[in-house]
């Protein structure tokens, strides 16, 4: 059964939370309403993200978004988990990482490993200092972004469309309207719609649809939710509308899709 971990329960609504862990065995499929990084200090096993399996070994760094589902099987595992919200100064890099799905798992070389472990040690020692903790997490996120970008510094500009993407990534499970998003971002609906389309080449409705349908497919594949539960969990208000649009998009009903994945 897939479990969704909430920010309110798991993080007590803090913006950064870090915890060292020792795990031996399986941690079942789950998702969460916040970003997560897990760094492997020792252990072997398999880390599965959205159906893709990665081997676990020391020096691996995993990056998860609110739209991902994952499970862990590890033997004699020692790791550090960092949960954090979207409220980072380097939020533009979060958007970049969230869109680069193939970089969910990184194997750090020796120099990068020493730096990451040093930052995590510092983060553990100052976990009660919220502002400083955010700065340290930003350093790690920046390092991941540089790794993704071939060692080059990624753009610092935090555009309107990136702000909107981050908001949608964190709230796609809830009812979203253009007016509500614009109000949260402090701009007019017309301006948000125009700029988003200009900067991304797609409209906001399509972007939200893609988030919801991708998440629904993950739930249909990896959870025991009924199709109706998947519809609600993925942010669709109308169950019948979800059925109709899923079939139009993928050429198969969500129920048939779920059955086909169970046979694989």
User: What single DSSP character describes residue 23?
Assistant: E
Mean pLDDT of 72-80: 95
The residue that leads in pLDDT, 149 or 22, is 22
Q: Answer yes or no: is pLDDT of 20 > 90.
A: yes
* Token pair of 12 as six digits: 């007590």
Q: How far apart are alpha carbons 207 and 212 in whole angstroms?
A: 9
The residue that leads in pLDDT, 154 or 240, is 240
Measuring CA to CA, how many Å separate 167 from each of 83, 172, 173, 241, 242?
Answer: 17, 8, 11, 24, 22
* Token pair of 122 as six digits: 């510092």
Q: pLDDT tens, 181-196? A: 999 999 999 999 999 9
Question: Do the Cβ atoms of 62 and 54 come closer than 8 Å?
Answer: yes
Q: Answer yes or no: is pLDDT of 122 > 70.
A: yes
* Token pair of 218 as six digits: 């993950």
Q: Three-state DSSP class for 150?
A: coil
Indicate the pTM of the whole model. 0.82
Mean pLDDT of 198-222: 93
Mean pLDDT of 237-261: 96
What pLDDT is stored for residue 88 in this prediction?
66
Closest CA to 195 of 172, 186, 153: 186
131 exposure class (CB count in 10 Å sphere: 0-12, 13-18, 19+): exposed
Mean pLDDT of 194-211: 94
Label residue 252 by pLDDT band (50, 70, 90). very high
Question: Do the Cβ atoms of 84 and 19 come closer than 8 Å?
Answer: no
Q: How far apart are alpha carbons 189 and 240 in whole angstroms?
A: 28
Helical axes 160-171 vs 91-99, angle rounded to 10°? 70
Q: How far apart are alpha carbons 156 and 152 in whole angstroms?
A: 12
Q: How far apart are alpha carbons 101 and 49 in whole angstroms?
A: 10
- Lowest mean per-residue pLDDT among 54-63, 88-97, 193-202: 88-97
Mean pLDDT of 126-155: 76
Left (φ > 0), alpha (ψ -120 to 50) or beta: where does 50 sit?
Answer: left
All structural domains of the chain? 3-148 (2.60.120.280), 160-263 (1.10.10.60)
């Amino acid at each position: 059964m897939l479990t969704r971990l909430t920010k309110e329960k798991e993080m007590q609504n803090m913006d950064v939370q870090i915890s060292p862990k020792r795990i031996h065995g399986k941690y079942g499929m789950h998702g969460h309403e916040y970003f997560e990084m897990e760094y492997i200090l020792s252990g072997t096993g398999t880390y599965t993200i959205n159906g893709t399996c990665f081997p676990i070994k020391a020096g691996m760094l995993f990056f998860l978004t609110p739209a991902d589902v994952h499970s862990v099987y590890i033997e004699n595992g020692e790791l550090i988990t960092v949960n954090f919200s979207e409220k980072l100064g380097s939020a533009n890099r979060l958007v970049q990482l969230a869109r680069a799905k193939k970089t969910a798992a990184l194997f750090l070389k020796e120099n990068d490993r020493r730096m990451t472990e040093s930052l995590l040690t510092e983060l553990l020692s100052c976990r009660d200092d919220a502002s400083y903790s955010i700065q340290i997490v930003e350093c790690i996120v920046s390092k991941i972004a540089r790794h993704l970008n071939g060692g080059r510094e990624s753009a610092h500009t935090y555009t309107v469309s990136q702000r909107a993407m981050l908001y949608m990534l964190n709230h796609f499970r809830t009812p979203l309207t253009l007016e509500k998003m614009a109000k949260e971002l402090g701009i007019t609906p017309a301006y948000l719609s125009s700029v988003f389309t200009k900067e991304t080449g797609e409209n906001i409705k399509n972007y939200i649809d893609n988030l919801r349908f991708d998440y629904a497919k993950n739930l249909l594949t990896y959870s025991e939710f009924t199709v109706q539960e998947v519809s609600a969990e993925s942010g669709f208000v109308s169950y019948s509308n979800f059925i109709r649009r899923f079939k139009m998009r993928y050429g198969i009903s969500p129920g048939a899709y779920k059955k086909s994945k169970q046979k694989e």
